[in-house]
Each structure stands twice: as C-alpha cells, then as structure tokens.
Amino acid sequence: MVRVARKNELLPGTLEMLILQTLTRSPMHGYGIAQQIQQISEDVLQVEEGSLYPALQRLLVKGWVKSEWGLSENNRRARYYTLTKAGRNQLGIEADNFNRMIAAIARVMQTA
Amino acid sequence: MSRIAESWRKLQFLLRRRQMDKELAEEMRLHAELKAQKNIAAGMQPDEAQMAARRQLGNTTLQQEHSRANWGFPRLESLVQDVRYGLRGLRNRPGFSAVAILTLALGIGSATAIFSVVNAIILRPLPYKNSQHLVHLWSLNTAFPEFHMGMSLPNLDEVKAQTHSFEAFAPYKTKRGTLTGEGAPERVVISSVSSDFFSVFSARPLLGRTFEPADDQQKNGDVVVLSHTLWRRRFASDPHILGRVIHLDQKARTVVGVMPAGFTFPETSEAWTTLTPSAEELRNRTQWMFFTVARLRPAVSPAAAQSELNTLAEAMKTRYAEDMAGTNFLLTTLHDDAVGSSRSQLLVLLAAVGFLLLIACANVSNLVLARGLQRRHEIAVRAALGASRSRVMRQLGIENLVLALAGGAVGLVLAAYGVSAFRQLAPADFPRLDELRIEPLMAIFALLISTTSGVLFGLAPALTVSRTDPGTAMKPRGIENPTHARGFSLRDALVVIELALAMLLLTGSALMVQSMSRLLKVDTGLRTDHLVTAELNLPPARYSSENSQVAFIRQLLESLAAQGPISDIAVSNNAVLDQNTSLISFDPSLNGSNEKKTNLESKMVSPGYFSTLGLHLINGRFFDEHDTKGASIMIIVNQSLANRFFPGQNLVGRSLRFSGEGKDQYTVVGVVSDSRDIHVSAKPRPEVYFSLLQDPSRSLYVMVRSRLEMPAVRALLEKSVWAVDKDQPVSKVRTMAEVIAESVADRRFRTWLMSAFAVFGLSLTLIGIYCVISYSVSQRTHEMGIRMAIGASRENVLGLVLSSGARLAAFGALTGLVASFLMMRVLSNQLYDIKPNDPLTLIGTALLLLLVALLASYVPARRATRVDPMVALRYE
C-alpha cells in the first residue's frame, strides 16, 4: 500500500484520500501525484506505483475524478486527472472521517 | 443513484477495454520515463537509470491486472469464464457429456412431466372464482353410504333456514335433450338451474345475461343460456344470437345469454334452462333429485359446515321421522369431486418419479466423481497457480450447474412430449384432462429441479476433488491410492437396488404388455369388421306407446335396407362391447332345473342382429318379421344358458318360465353361439334374446356394416334416420374398432405408463452399472498394468472386469426376482390370461437384465485392457 518509512499499515482508503487532496489545487498526471505526495510529506509517504494506478482507476470508476489526455512538461502525451464535484464532496467526507479516527486514536494513546 | 452511475461507468470501461489497456500502458511508460529522468538528474547512468525506474515500477502485469479489475464486473466475468470452461469441458468429452446429460434428461424430464400433470389435475384450483368455497350437498341413506343422492327441495329449504354456514345455494338437474330447428337434430346436455346458479360461481356471461329471479316464474317466457362450445359449433359464434328462438325437446326457448369458454358446470353442459319444479317436487321431502351446489361463507370451513349439517339432520329425524329415516346430509368440496380417485394414483406416480430422479442424480454423481478424479492433474495446476479451494469449488460447481441445465433443457423437451402423450393416451374420463397443457410453469419447474440436481450431484464430487493437494497430484500418474480391498461399497449397493427396481418395472411391464396383446386377440365370438354403431334415443313425448316405437323401428330397418352400400343391419336396445347390459331374473327351478335363481343377460334385437354380428345358429331359427306384437313372445337363448341349466336337452319349442307370475313365460325358438358382447375380457354369460319388434325400447343402438369410409357411412345413417323422423338426433357415431379401443383405454394407459417407467429404469440402471465399473477400472489401472506385465493376457483382464460387473448383475437380478415374486400379485387383477408369476416372463426379464449389465460393463472393461503395462509400471 502506501509505504511509510517503518512499513506501517495505514487505514484502507487513505491513498485515495491523499490523491483527491493532491488534486484540489490543480489537475495532475499520475507521476506528478506520486511526486507531490512524497514531497509534501517529506518523504515519509512513498506511493508504490503498484497501488497508484489501480487507485486512480477506482477513482475514475467512482466518478470522483475525471481524466483527459494532454501534453506534459516535456511535450509527452500524459493523462491528467481532475477532481470532480462529487470528488470534492467525497474528499470532505473522507477527511472528516480520517480526522475523527486520528483524534480517537490520540485520545486512546493519551490515556496510556 | 451513484451506484447506477458507477455501474454505468464500469460498463463503459468494460466495452472500451482494449483502448483503456493501451492508455494505461502508455501512462505507465511515461511514469517510468519521468522516473528515469529523475534518476539521471540525480546522477545515475542512463540505462541504469531506466532499469532502476522499471524495477521501481514493479510488476506491471500485476498492476495492469489490478487496474483492469476496476473495469467491468470482475465477479460476473469470472462467472462467465467458468461457464465457458464448463461448456468447453462438455464439448471435449462428448461421451461423458452425452451420458450425463441423457441421465439427467430422463430424470428431470419425467419429474417435470408428472409434476405438470399433478399440478393441472390436483393442485391447481378449479377455474371458478374462490373455488375453494364451493361445495356439493348430498343426501345419503345410511344403508348405502357410497350412493350419493341429491337434495329434495323441502329439505333444501330447511338447510337454508336452519344453517349459517352458507351464502348461496343452487339446485340443478341435468339431462340429455334434443335440439331441433335449422340444421341436423342434436342431442345436447341440458341443465336446469335456479336463477342464482351462475352467481354462486361468480360466473359472468360472455354475451347477454344469465338468469334473474323473474325467470324462475317465467315472467320473461322460456329462456335459455348457451354454452360457448354450443354457440361456436352450432350457431357459428353468431354475434346476434341473443333473442333467437331455439327448440329444446320440442319447446321454444329464447336465447338470453352465452357463457364464456371453459364454463360447463355441471359435467359438460351445453345449455342452461330455468329450474321449474312441479308442485309434487316442491312438496315431497323424499324426492332426492336435485343436485345442489352451495357457496360457503368466507370464514367457514367445510368441516364446520358438515357438522352443522349433521346436527340439522339429527334434528330433522325427530321432526320428520318417516321421511328422514336413515338419511344424512353430506358435504363435499367441488375440488375433491373433480379430482376424485385420481389423487392417490397421481401421488404414487409423483413418488415413483421422484425416486427415478434421485437415482439419476446418484448416477451422475458417480460419473462426475470419476471424471473429477481424472482431472486431478489439471486441478492441481490451478491450485499451484494460486486458485483458492473455494475458487476451485466454485468452478467445479458451475461446471456441474452447466451440465445440470443442459440436462434440464433436454429434459424439458422430453417432458413436453410426455405431457402431450399423457393427454392422448389417458382414458377420456380422467378428471380435468382438458386443463392439462404445456405451459411456461413447466420450464420454471425444470429450471428449479435442474439447479437442485446440479447442487445435489455436484456437491460430493466437488468437495472431494477440490481437496486435491497440489503436491501429491503433481506426481506422475500411477502412484495413486493403492487399490482398496474390493469390498461392497455404498456405490455397489446402490447399483444392486437400481437393478432390482428395474427388474420389477420390467417384469410388470412385460406382464401387462402380454396381457394387453392377449386381450386384443381374444375371440369375442362376434364379427366386428367394418361395423359402425350409432345411438338413438326416442323422446318419450312422441314415442310413448309401444306401437309407435315398433313403427319407428320397422321404418328404420326398411330405410336402412334401401341404402345400397349397407350390407348388414342390426338394432338392439343395448350397446355391444361397450360395457353395457341389461339383466333379467330367472328361476331355473320353475323349469325343472336344480340351479339357483340367478340373473341372465337380456337383449332386445332386430331380426338381422345375429347374422350381422356373426352369431351361429345351433338349433332352431333366428327371429324374423313375423315375430310381431300380438303373437306369443319368442326368445332365443345362447349355448351357455342351454348347457348350464338344461344340459343335453333340446330347448327349441320349449316354454320357459322366468318367474312365478303368470305372464312371464316365453317360447324358445332358437339356440345361438356364445359371444362376449359386454367387454372383450368378460367371459360369455347365459343370455336370452327378445325380438325388438315384439318388445321394443326407446333407447336404440344401430349397427351397420358397409365397405365405405366412416364419414360416408355416418351420412347414410343420418339420411336413413331422418327419412323416418327428421327431428331424431343420431349420436355417438363410431366404428366398432373405436368402441373396442375405448373400452380398453384404461388398461392401455396403465400399460403405457408402466412401460415408460420400465424403459427409464432400465436405461438408468445401464448407466449406473457403467459408472460403477468405469470408476473401479480407473482406480485399478495400476493394478491392471502390473497384472498384464507379469503375464495376464488381455482376455484375463477383460474377464476380471466383466466378472465384477457380472457379480453386481447377479445380485441385482436375484434381488429383483425375489421382489418380483412377492410384489407382482399386486397386478393380478389387471392381468388378463397371464399369471403374475409367469415363469417365462420372470426368467426372460432376468436374462435381459444380465445381458444389459454385461453390456454396460463391457466398455470400461475394454478400456482396462488397453492399459499399457509399461506406462503403468514406469513409476513403480
């Protein structure tokens, strides 16, 4: 899945949430998304390509992103993904869930 | 809503799969390139950079596959794939497939056919609204409780007043009457009913109206409602039929309505008139002539209504002691009346066919298991490639389902044939036969049992085979389970039972077929070739005096004789070979014989009767035209009568006394040969003939012989009759061959059924033996190889396998013989001229069974001999 430095298991669906978040700013192609996540997380989160493309396909099927072909920075054909309105909604939902989850885990850890 | 949109997108991706593939591949290539560029920028060599990039990208194939999983509906697709594998597997093994499909088709087909019959006749409610509330009311006398009589009108009034279980009552009477007017006179079934009769059934008319209370008092004149069949046949579905006047039994009636197709209650009514009871019928409590249908109130059960009737009957016995002595009321549901005795027969059939289906499933289970064990290698490869046990089981399950559905499809076709055959061969009085059709429900039922069978027979093999450990299965063939001791396994026991059952069915069928053929060859003592019969019923109103009846008969004989193509003419008051007769009581002691008082067959016949039917004159003479009214009454007796009561004596000219009263004395003018004129299976009885011209009757049966075809003869008959009386209907015109065929229709039907089951049972058994021997051979391949290597010849191996088959067959035949011996006497009252334990039949069927069993073992036996010892030994 998403490989953290310590090879932890993350909650399922996190990758998709991260992808959606990355697309809020501007459309991107697959490689760009992976790079972005890596950079912003300061190399903690490294997206395995094996999970990236299946995740992108899932998002396409669910209608949370849409894709179109365009030209990349170095004039190569690349597929750009854009967030849809439904995707934006979904991102909100997932972010809320995620935050609630994190807060709960934090509470448990504090009482230890 | 989003689900639908999602599925829609999945579908689109599925359809554009190839394009999506290309795009994804291109996307991933770009990704690899960009990564490589990044590596080069970080300082790696170009090709090293590319390789590193590709390695990081990982297993592209797997990724593509995961991505692809999002396109379309993966579970559905793997299902479709399994189905395709299943079909391909069936195609590749035609022998196995054919046998398995045939077995299933037999089981499923027969089950579906019998289910259809049971559904149409027993399960389906009658074609009236809320028919479960419709009941029949009867009166019965405790001395003869099986004889159900109708209600009397005063009693019906009591029931109406004193009980609370019923909503409505409809008394009726049925008779046969004459319809005259334009066109040929016809005999029709007429029911006289009360004005609320139709509302009891909630039956609406197709045209016009049914009866209303005013019709009871005939305020609207004499009215009639027609049935759909009569309207279509006689009046060509005339839309302006309402208001027309027709003549029933010489009475003019106006048509006020036509019923829709399918409504013919009671029996096969063709017209309904109003019930006009006479003053006597209204008053007399013991005229039990009115059959009555009633509707129960919605919440009342038949049992509750019956107990209410019982209470009433008791109360009425005190009030009307004389009229109600020994009388009780009985209530039956209309449904039970319709279905009647056929219920037990059909349920037995259903059980038998269920059994057949189970045996078929067991057979196919064996086959599938044997095949599955042959495929262990293939299954092991699948497991090694990553298929889980459940995935393997699912695949096997679907293959079995495909097999079952294929068998079901063939079975459905067989069932359709079976149902139409049932309709044609069942005796005409089988209840509700006209409601039996080929219908879509059969397909649904077939689908259901196919699926169930598929699960049933597939479960055990799938469980066993999917447990294949890839390791052991991948080892080369030969190192398999060592041959277990050849004991008597469950499979063997099953086959022996199948054999015994098949033997039972075969014996029964053989006995019945022989019985039937002997019956049809019996010498009735009558000439029945080229004979056509018809029934005439002279209406009492116009033929009340015996003189008028004699006049009609004479004129009819003349009219018939004037027809050139008619060679022989006979008229009688009783049908011949139609299970009909009259009896007359005879006291032999009044005539010097020591025999006890008894009943004799009696018939009134025309002079030409004896020669037409081929009876021989033994002594004296036949009747002639001079034996008319006024002269003393002549009789002719048959040989049986003479030999039984007056052996060795000459009866011609003697006067016989029939009873103590004075007038009952008749002169014998002739003795004729015996005949079986009641039924082909009934032995000749002592019989006495009277001359129809001396002792006429209103019910007449005409028999004529002609070389012409039936329609021409019918036309001649009608012409002759109508020349005498243009309003006299000519009914039931049939050839004598048809009459005889109908008289044995019951028996023929049962023979046919029994034979069908016997053929099925035998086929299934054949397959069963094949399966078992086949399986054991496939288990013992290694052993066979060793045997042949150390010197056994092909014949030895053949003999070895055949002997195991013969052992099963012997056990089965023996069990079957014992069972037949014990159970065949069940059939004894159905058999004609052949004993249930006929030794030839028993031995014959046992031999047939042994032959069949050996044949079934032969094919796998031959396969065993073709084992190459080298291959078998190679992995020793």
Query: Using CA atoms, how far apart are residues B716 and B711, in angstroms rounded to an integer?
Result: 9
Q: Tokens for B102?
A: 């045939």
Question: CA B786 to CA B167: how far, in whole Å?
Answer: 85
| Cβ-defined contact of B6 to A62 (cutoff 8 Å) | yes
Residues of B in contact with A61 (CB under 8 A): 6, 9-10, 13, 70-71
Distance from CA of A29 to the nearest CA of B (A): 9
Q: Is the pLDDT of residue A82 over 90?
A: yes
What Rg value do the Cα atoms of chain A yield, rounded?
Answer: 15
The separation between the first and the last C-alpha atoms of chain B, rounded to the nearest angstrom, is 65
> What is the dihedral angle through the alpha carbons of A41, A43, A49, A55, rounded to the nearest 10 degrees?
-20
Chain length of chain B: 876
User: Please, which residues bridge with residue A107 across strands?
Assistant: none
Suggest the residue from A49, A51, A69, A93 to mutate for an interface test with chain B (most B CBs closer than 10 A). Answer: A49
Cβ A76–B33 below 8 Å, yes or no? yes
Q: What are phi and psi of B383, to 5 degrees?
A: -65, -40
pLDDT, tens digit (0-9, with 9 covering 90-100), for B259-281: 988 788 887 888 999 888 888 88
What pLDDT is stored for residue B341 in this prediction? 66
Closest CA to B356 of B119, B102, B108, B97: B108
Q: Torsion angle, CA of B208/B214/B216/B217, rounded to 10 degrees?
A: -140
Q: What is the pLDDT of residue B494?
A: 73
- Measure the CA–CA gap between B91 and B782, rounded to whole angstroms: 28
Q: What residues in chain B have their Cβ under 8 A from chain A's Cβ atoms?
A: 2, 5-6, 9-10, 13, 23-24, 26-28, 30-31, 33-35, 37, 56-59, 62-63, 66-67, 69-71
User: Which chain A positions have a beta carbon within 8 Å of B24's beta carbon?
Assistant: 53, 57
Q: Is the Cβ pair A53, B58 closer than 8 Å?
A: no
Give pLDDT, residue B662. Answer: 65
Entry pTM: 0.66
- With beta carbons less than 8 A apart as the criterion, state whether B481 and B473 touch: no
pLDDT of residue B703: 93
Of B27, B62, B66, the CB nearest to A79: B27
Q: Which residues of B touch A86 (CB under 8 A)?
A: 2
Residue B393: closest CA among B468, B477, B473: B468
CB-CB neighbours of A57 under 10 Å: 22
- What would the 3-class secondary structure string for B68-88 be? HCCCCCHHHHHHHHHHHHHHH
Residue B170, φ and ψ in degrees, nearest 5? -145, 95
Regions in chain B scoring below 50 on pLDDT: 478-486, 876
Calculate how close chain B gets to A106, using CA atoms only, in Å.
34
Inter-chain CB proximity A49 and B6 less than 8 Å? no
Annotate B133-156 with DSSP letters as a single string: GEEEEEEEETTSTT--B-B-HHHH
Q: What does DSSP say about strands B166-180 and B245-248: parallel, antiparallel, or unpaired? A: antiparallel
Which residues does A36 contact at the CB level (< 8 Å), separation at least 6? A22, A28
Put simply, the answer to whether A50 touches B24 (Cβ < 8 Å) is: no
Q: Which of A29, A63, A78 sits opposite B5 (nearest CB)?
A: A63
Mutation choice for B interface testing from A16, A61, A69 by most B CBs within 10 A = A61
Three-state DSSP state, B866? coil
Q: What is the pLDDT of residue B559?
A: 92
What is the reported pLDDT for B785? 77
Enter the DSSP assignment of B121.
I
What local confidence, expressed as pLDDT, does residue B657 receive?
84
Backbone φ and ψ for B874, nearest 5 degrees, come out as -55, -35
Of residues B2, B33, B56, nearest to A49 (C-beta) = B56
CA atoms A17, A19, A21, A27: torsion sign: negative
B59 to chain A, closest Cα gap in Å = 7
How many residues in total does chain A contain? 112
Helix ranges (H only) for B590-709 are: 609-612, 639-645
Q: Which residue, chain included where needed, has tokens 């009735």?
A: B524
CB atoms B30 and A57 under 8 Å: no
- Is-contact B769 B809, C-beta < 8 A? yes
In this prediction the ipTM stands at: 0.80
Cβ of B69 within 8 Å of Cβ of A54? The answer is yes
For residue B120, the 8-state DSSP code is: I
**Out of A31, A58, A63, closest to residue B31 by CB:** A31
Q: Are B601 and B614 in contact (CB under 8 A)?
A: no
Contacts of B62 in chain A (CB under 8 A): 50
**What's the CA gap between B821 and B804, in Å, rounded?**
26
Q: Closest approach of chain B CAs to the CA of A18, in angstroms?
A: 18
Structure tokens at B662: 């004075």
Paired with B585 in beta bridges are: B599
Residue entry with tokens 């072909």: A69
- Output the CA torsion B21→B26→B28→B32 (10° steps): 160
Q: Could you tell me the maximum CA-CA distance found in chain B, to the nearest angstrom?
A: 144
Q: Over the stretch B376-421, which tens digit does the pLDDT of each residue have?
A: 778 878 777 777 778 888 888 888 888 888 998 999 999 989 888 8
Chain B hits for A57, Cβ within 8 Å: 24, 67, 70-71
* pLDDT given for residue A7 in this prediction: 43
Which residue from A29, A30, A61 is facing B10, i.e. has the nearest CB?
A61
Provide the 10 A C-beta neighbour count for residue B246.
20
> Residue holding tokens 């019709």?
B215
What percent of chain B is predicted at pLDDT more than 70? 94
> Which run of H or of E encompasses B782?
helix B781-789
Interface test with A, best of B13, B67, B73 (most A CBs within 10 A): B67
- A107 Cα to chain B: minimum distance (Å): 35
Residues of A in contact with B70 (CB under 8 A): 54, 57-58, 60-61
CB-based contact A78:A68 (threshold 8 Å): no
Determine which of A48, A53, A66 to mutate to test the interface with B (most B C-beta atoms within 10 Å): A53
What six digits make up the tokens of B663?
């007038």
Alpha helices in B375-489 (DSSP H): 376-384, 389-425, 440-466, 470-474
**Is the omega angle on the peptide bond into residue B171 within 30 degrees of 0, that is, cis?**
no
Helices (H), A23-111: 30-40, 49-62, 85-111
Residue B254, CB half-sphere, CA atoms under 13 Å: how many?
13
Answer yes or no: are the C-beta atoms of B695 and B535 closer than 8 Å: no
Residue B215's contacts (CB-CB under 8 Å, 6 or more residues apart) are B195, B223, B274
Q: Which residue from B189, B515, B491 is spatially nearest to B362, judged by alpha carbons?
A: B491
Give the contacts of B316 (CB within 8 A, at least 6 positions apart).
Answer: B155, B158, B324
Distance from CA of A4 to the nearest CA of B (A): 16
- Residue A30 — very low, low, confident or very high, per pLDDT cuts 50/70/90? confident
CB B34 to CB A31 under 8 A?
Answer: yes
Which residues are CB-neighbours of B770 under 8 A, at least 6 positions away?
A: B99, B856, B857, B859, B860
**B764: number of Cβ within 10 Å:** 23
